[in-house]
Chain A
Amino acid sequence: MNRYSVFSVARNAMNYNKDWERAWRSPNPKAEYDAVIIGAGGHGLATAYYLAKEHKMTNIAVIEKGWLGGGNTGRNTTIIRSNYLQEPSIAIYELSRSLYEGLSQELNYNMMFSPRGLMMLCQTEHELRALKRTWHANRHAGLDCRMISPKEVKEICPIINDDPNARYPILGAYYQPRGGTGRHDAVAWGYARGADAMGVDIIQNCAVTGIRREGGKVVGVETERGYIKTKRVGVVAAGHTSVVMQMAGVNMPIESVCLQALVSEPIKPVIDCVVMANTVHGYMSQSDKGELVIGGGADSYNNYSQRGSFPALEHTVTALVETFPIISRLRMLRLWGGIVDMTGDRSPILSGTDVEGLYVNCGWGTGGFKAIPGSGFVFADTIANGRPHPIAEPFSLNRFAEGRLIDESVAAAVAH
Chain B
Amino acid sequence: MLVVTCPVCGVHGDETDFHCGGQAHVARPASTRPENVTDAEQRDYLFIRHNPKGLHFERWRCDRGCGKWFHAARDTVSLEFKAFYGVTELPPVELMKQATGTWAEFFKDKIKAGKAS
Whether B77 pairs with A311 at a CB distance below 8 angstroms is: no
Whether A344 pairs with B58 at a CB distance below 8 angstroms is: no
Whether A253 pairs with B58 at a CB distance below 8 angstroms is: no
Cα distance A329–B52 in the bound complex, in angstroms? 40
Whether B53 pairs with A253 at a CB distance below 8 angstroms is: no
Q: Which of B13-21, B28-36, B86-94, B108-116 contacts A (4 or more CB under 8 A)?
A: B13-21
Whether A300 pairs with B20 at a CB distance below 8 angstroms is: yes
Tell me if A7 counts as interface (CB < 8 A to partner B): no
Whether B76 pairs with A303 at a CB distance below 8 angstroms is: yes
A246-B101, A402-B39 given; 10 more Cβ-contact pairs under 8 Å? A251-B44, A300-B15, A301-B20, A301-B58, A301-B74, A305-B79, A310-B1, A344-B46, A400-B46, A401-B40
Cα distance A311–B17 in the bound complex, in angstroms? 11
Q: What residues of B have a CB within 8 angstroms of the CB of A252 in the complex?
A: 48-49, 51
Write the chain A residue with the least CB distance to B40: A401
CB 8 Å contact bits of A187-213 with B (1 = contact, 0 = none): 000000000000000000000000000
Number of CB contacts from chain A to chain B under 8 A: 75
Cα distance A401–B1 in the bound complex, in angstroms? 36
Tell me if B71 counts as interface (CB < 8 A to partner A): no
Whether B39 pairs with A305 at a CB distance below 8 angstroms is: no
Q: A295-347: which have CB < 8 Å to B?
A: 300-305, 307, 309-311, 343-344
Cα distance A311–B1 in the bound complex, in angstroms? 7
Interface centre among B20, B76, B77 (most CB of A within 10 A): B76
Whether B15 pairs with A400 at a CB distance below 8 angstroms is: no
Tell me if B2 counts as interface (CB < 8 A to partner A): yes
CB proximity of A392 to chain B, nearest CB, Å = 19
What are 6 A-B interface contacts by the 8 Å CB criterion?
A251-B50, A254-B51, A302-B56, A309-B1, A309-B2, A403-B39
Q: What residues of B have a CB within 8 angstroms of the CB of A300 in the complex?
A: 15, 19-20
Tell me if A94 counts as interface (CB < 8 A to partner B): no
Tell me if B67 counts as interface (CB < 8 A to partner A): no
CB proximity of B9 to chain A, nearest CB, Å = 21
Cα distance A246–B52 in the bound complex, in angstroms? 10
CB proximity of B31 to chain A, nearest CB, Å = 19
Q: What residues of B have a CB within 8 angstroms of the CB of A243 in the complex?
A: 51-53
Cα distance A392–B58 in the bound complex, in angstroms? 32
Whether A305 pairs with B76 at a CB distance below 8 angstroms is: yes
Tell me if B10 counts as interface (CB < 8 A to partner A): no
Q: What residues of A have a CB within 8 angstroms of the CB of B1 in the complex?
A: 309-311
